[in-house]
Structures are given as C-alpha cells and as structure tokens.
Structure 1
Amino acid sequence: MAEKIVLDCDPGHDDAIALLLAHGDPGIELLAVTTVVGNQTLAKVTRNALSVATMAGITGVPFAAGADRPLLREIEVAADIHGESGLDGPELPEPAFGVVGAHAVDLIVETVLAHEPGTVTLVPTGGLTNIALAARRAPEIVERVKRVVLMGGGVGVGNRTAVAEFNIAIDPEAADIVFSAGWEVVMVGLDLTHQAVAGPEVREAIRAVGTGPARFVDELLDFFAGTYRDVQGFDAPPVHDPCAVAHVIDPTVVRAVPVPLVVETTGRYTTGMTVADLRGPAPEGCRTYAARELDHGRFWDLVVGALTRIGDPTVAAPVAAPVAAPVVASEQPA
C-alpha cells in the first residue's frame, strides 16, 4: 500500500525535486503540501511550491502556507544557495491555483486526525516550525502520526555552521520540540544526503526522460550545481530533500539506524547541532533514528522513475478544495 504523507517544505531546488518524487512515485499517497519560511521567505517558497505543482500537474492535493518566521529567532534564508526567488534557474510557470484558506498547521492537524492512527507520515524538508506548532497546538496527533521523516541535521556534520545543518539551525527551538515529542523521528541528515550527488551519469539519465518536468529538474540542477560549487566546493550538487521521501518509499534505499538524538539550543558555538549518542547500541525503545547509508543508484532510479511517470502534463487544474486569494497566511496560530 502507498504510504500516506504530508510534505512540509520550503522550495528550494531540492524541495522541488522532493515534491516531484512524492507526486510521481506509486509508493506515496500525497495527502497535503504545506510551506514554511526557510530557503526563502514564506511568500516566495509558497509561490514556488504552487508553480512546481502547476508544472507537474499535481491536482486534488491541498496546499497551505504556514509559519512566516521561526518560533523565537530572526528569519534566515539561503539566497546564497537557492537565489533570490528560492528557485533561481528555470523559468517558473504562473501558479494555476492557490492555497486553501487554512493555515498549514491547521491543515497538518486536520489531515492527521482525518486518517486512522499510524497511517500518516509527516515529511518536513525545511525548518521544523510548522511541525512543532502542530505538535503543541494538538498534542493528540503525536500518538496518531506514524512517524516524522525529516531532512535536517546530521551526525557530526553541519553546513550553516561547523556543526549545525541549515534546517535545524534556522529554528532550533522548533527542532527540539519535534525531536523530543515522543513520536518516531527519522533524521535524514547531511551525512546521508551528501551521498546523493547528481553527477554526470545522473544528469544524463534525467535529460533522457525528455519531458518538461525532467527538463525543469535539469535546469534546477544547473543552478544548484553552480551555487554548491561556488559556496561549498562540491563537484556535483547533493540533492538533500528527496532522500527523506525516498526513505518513506523504500527504507532499504535510505537506511536508518536507531540513535539517541537531541538538539542543542543554547550552545555558544553549537546551537542547532543534532547531537547523536554513538557510544554504544541504542537503548531499547529508542524512537529516534539517523539515516546513514544511501544506495545511490537505486535512489536516483526512484527520482528518474517518478519523472517518467509524471510525463508531460498539461497545466494543472485547481484543487477540489476552495482556495483563498492570498498566497500566504499572515499570522501563525497561537
């Protein structure tokens, strides 16, 4: 049976690919897409998500805008990696539909409560503000969610700082809430996603699909490759966020092991660090996991397969749910 997910994202080049993978793989039932400030402002990443959905023909899935700022800290974006739009590089179509009237946090809660316990997985690929707010707003969802599979953090590696990954660093307080809530958390961090590089053979396979969405991904990777080369010195770009979706599709492609994990929120040099206790076997009942090993070839086969299935869709029709005129919600729920 397909895994039911809510994708919480901040597109973002790799978020866009994660959305396409979730849409195009038969192992995923995409219940909802929510957006959060992160790679760019909430207005920009929400528009990007709607544009990608329009390009890929994603219909019947509600989209909702969420938190426009971290819980406590100032907004930080990643224009150095993703550009001023958040999706610099390809030409983006105008969105064919808008967001639903509900705030993303409310949509997350409503979606979890509308399905049987243990059937909905939350897949956040940006900062964890929406997920933390949902857990605090409706604590009853914690025992109903199947698991949280997030892209963020890392075991002993950072990119925003020496030890902190961007998604965790921009809202460490939210990350602390999510990691300590008591539900099962799978951290797909940098030590895993840095294995998911889009080298020449990957680019060739994507171009060979020959469709509009595949050309869009190739253009995304052109820009992404340039910024990762210039800013972080990579020969080929690591494509982080689809790794979280791939773990949900097939845990043998993105393999995770139980590891006690906590988030540092007060360290002078270590705020945002995901601290993994590797001193011995995880204690019985450990509910936090770290992804450590990627099957590179099978991972990219999933992405290319999803692009092939998407085909060359026409412009997406509006979703079935009523849509609101504003692209973003202006206030976070209490």
Structure 2
Amino acid sequence: MTSAPRRIVLDCDPGHDDAVAMMLALGNPAIEVLAITTVGGNQTIDKVTRNAQSVLAMCRREDVPVYQGASRPLVHRVESAPEIHGESGLDGVELPEPGAALRDGHAAVAIVDAVMGAKPGEVTLVGTGPLTNLALAVRLEPRIVERVAEVVVMGGGFPEANWTAAAEFNIWVDPEAAAIVFDEPWPVTMVGLDLTHQALATAEVEARVGAIGSPLSDFFVGLMGFFRKAYKESQAFDDPPVHDPCTIAYLIDPTIVQTRRAPIAVELRGEHTVGMTVVDLRGPAPEGTHTQVATTLDADRFWGLVEDAIRALSDAE
C-alpha cells in the first residue's frame, strides 16, 4: 500500500457494481477521485450519468465533478443491460435527487485535462464500463499515454464470458474502443470475469454491511437484493458477482488481487468471437509486454475493504 493516495479518474456506467466501486473509491483514504466520467453501457448515457450523481449524493461527496461522455460506441449500435441493472440502471433502491450540477464539457476532454494537468505518473485511469471515452481521449491527445500511471479495466475474460459465448459485456459493447485502449503502450491491467466472478455478494456480505445501520449501508443492501435476483434469473448465479470494485481494491492494495503479465488482443472480426479478449498465457510474457490480467482475488479482504469504506462514508454523514 502506498503512503500517498492514488489519484484516479473513474470512467463508469452505473450500474449496481459501478456504484459499489464508487463507494469503495470514495470511502478509502488510499484513493483520491479526481472526477467521475460516464459512458453509455449498462443503461443510456442520461440514466447512468444521473445514477453517478445520485450515488455521489448518497455518499455525501457531491464535491466530486461528474462529466458526461459518449452516448454510443465508436462503430457498433447502442446496447444496454436492463435485464441485469433494470430500467433505471440502479433498480432496487430509491435514488436521491442529484445535488450537484453536471460539469460542462465532454468526458474525454475531462480525462485529457486531468492527465495533462498533473505530473507524469500521477493519474490512473479506471474504466468500469465500455471503453469509448478512454479511446476518444487517447485519440484526442496521444501524449496522455506516456503520462498515465496505469489503466485499470474491468472487462474481458480468459476464457470467461457473459454477454456472448466469447465476450464480456464491456468489451462487447465497444470492441474497437477496447482494442485502442489495450493496444496503446501504457500499462494496462485487465480485471476480467475470471477474477470478478470470485467477488460474490453472499448473504453473509449483505448482513455484515447491513449491520452498519446507515442509509448508505441500506442502499448497498437494496442494490444487492435486486442484483441477486437479476443474476439468478439471467445467468443462474446464486450470489451476484460484484465486478467493478475489484479494480479499486487492486489499486488500494495490489496484494488482494494476483496478476499475471501477458499479451492481450481484442477480437474485432471473428464471426462468433467479436469482443473476445485473447490472452496469451503460453509461457513467460515477451519482453516489453505492457498488459497484465488479474487471476485470483482474496475475497475476504476485498469485502473487508468494501465494508470499511461504507462504514467510513456512513460515519461522515
């Protein structure tokens, strides 16, 4: 763990698990959230942006700026996931009215400004939705590649998939954007389904968080209740995997998430495999490999971080 907080821009599409990622990032002193940027994914861009603002209101952190980004993928048609996240994108809870206004300007510009306005190596980009905004940012200002500390992505799998037989949702929605992000020579950590399917919100987890007894802990329990039902019906999970906060846990304490360096390519042309993340695990990674994949999660310590963050935010209410 580092003494100085990791400064991040969280690019997300809230989304139940994005909301938990926000709670973890906002409630842990090892992370400083410079901005929340939103991208169309789990629901439409207007809905996920409002959700981000509402989660900030729940966390009493309306000082964090929110910038709205891409409403659609670079090439593909718009696709969302109401069967997982509901019509609002955060079904299962009553969302508070956003208390802070949306900032002017596109999310991709905000990402560029955050990176270029900091010293090299100071800003980490975290993507927990489709990677459209990150791809637009790097095309808008290629110099951010040499200045970013790291790019941490929730997406992909090797070989786990969930939206098609070969692809995970975030990568499937905008595979061209994902290919841009993975191909640039900045350090990229892929936190895919093979790792996040270990982050299950069990009844014990819900009870531990619910025992905090605050509006925010009740909000978490409500989110997980809907998420459990949705995952049971759509993907036969008894307990829902809470994907996105695994990216934040990795940044807080990398020993919670084991990784392996390996080349990663995004399939763009396969008839049945578009959006597949092809991870080459044949022996040691070639010299100069700039990508790595998350493999194993310490689930107890992970949920301990989430519980502590919600407690800290609740105590600040």
Asked if the contact 1:55/1:313 (under 8 Å) is kept, the reply is no
Q: Mapping of 1:77-116 within 5 angstroms? A: 77-116=80-119
Is the 1:7–1:123 Cα contact (8 Å) retained in structure 2?
yes
- Code of the aligned partner of 1:204: A
Whether 2:143 is the aligned partner of 1:136: answer no
Counterpart amino acid of residue 187 in structure 1:
M
Deviations, residues 228-273 of structure 1 (Å, cap 9, x unaligned): 0010000100000000111111111112110110000111000000
Q: CA deviation at 1:208?
A: 1.1
CA deviation after TM superposition for structure 1 residue 313, in Å: 5.3
Count of residues in Structure 1 that have an aligned counterpart in Structure 2 = 314
Query: Using the alignment, how far apart are the partners of 2:216 and 2:195 within structure 1?
Result: 26
Query: Contact 2:13/2:128 (CA < 8 Å) preserved in 1?
Result: yes
- 1:194 equivalent in structure 2: 197
Displacement of 1:209 = 1.2
* 1:229 corresponds to: 232
For 2:34, the equivalent position in structure 1 comes to 31
CA distance in 1, matches of 2:311, 2:259: 27
Measure the CA separation in 2 of the matches of 1:41 and 1:256.
32
Aligned residue number for residue 287 of structure 2 = 284
Mapping of 1:206-217 within 5 angstroms?
206-217=209-220
Q: In structure 2, what is the Cα distance between the partners aligned to 1:91 and 1:153?
A: 31
Check the 8 A contact 1:150/1:185 in 2, yes or no.
yes
Q: What displacement does 1:60 show?
A: 2.4
What CA distance in whole angstroms lies between the structure 1 residues aligned with 2:221 and 2:262?
35
The normalised TM-score by structure 1 is 0.93
Greater alpha carbon shift after TM alignment, 169-178 vs 205-214: 205-214
State the identity as a percent. 56
Please give the alpha-carbon distance, in whole angstroms, between the structure 2 residues aligned to 1:58 and 1:20.
Answer: 10
Deviation at 1:98, TM superposition (A): 1.8
For 1:8-157, list aligned pairs within 5 A: 8-157=11-160
Out of 149, 165, 168, the position equivalent to 1:165 is: 168
**SS at 2:58 equivalent:** helix
Instruction: Tell me, in whole angstroms, the C-alpha distance in 2 between the residues paired with 1:66 and 1:2.
Output: 26
CA contact under 8 A between 1:221 and 1:237: conserved in structure 2? yes
In the TM superposition, residue 4 of structure 1 has moved relative to its aligned partner by: 0.5
Amino acid paired to 2:114: T
Q: Is the 8 A contact 2:10 2:126 kept in 1?
A: yes
Question: SS of 2:19's equivalent?
Answer: helix
- Stretches of structure 1 that go unaligned for 5 or more consecutive residues are 315-334
Runs of 4+ in 1 over 6 A off after TM superposition: none
Output one character per residue of 1:167-186: Cα deviation in whole Å (capped at 9) or x when no partner.
00000000000000110100
The one-letter code of the counterpart of 1:10 is D
3-12 vs 278-287, greater mean Cα deviation: 278-287
The answer as to whether partners of 2:67 and 2:110 remain within 8 angstroms in 1 is: yes
Aligned equivalents of 2:19, 2:272: Cα separation in 1? 31
Report the Cα distance in structure 1 between the residues aligned to 2:286 and 2:257, rounded to whole angstroms. Answer: 22
Secondary structure, counterpart of 1:159 in structure 2: coil
Partner of 1:296: 299
> Which TM-score applies when normalising by structure 2?
0.98
Inter-partner Cα distance in structure 1 for 2:36 and 2:165? 31
Structure number with the bigger relative contact order (C-alpha 8 A, sep ≥ 6) is 1
Match of 1:321 in 2: none
**CA–CA distance in 2 between the matches of 1:267 and 1:142?**
28
Structure 2: runs of 5+ lacking an equivalent: none
Take 1:49 and 1:241, find their aligned partners in 2: how far apart are those partners? Answer: 14
Give the letter for the 1:162 counterpart.
Answer: A
Q: How far apart, CA to CA, are the structure 1 residues paired with 2:277 and 2:110?
A: 28
| Counterpart mapping for 1:233-244 below 5 A | 233-244=236-247
SS in 1 for 2:143: helix
**C-alpha distance after superposition, 1:102-149 (max 9, x if no partner):** 110110000001111011100010000000000000000000000100
CA distance in structure 2 between the partners assigned to 1:186 and 1:95 by the alignment: 32
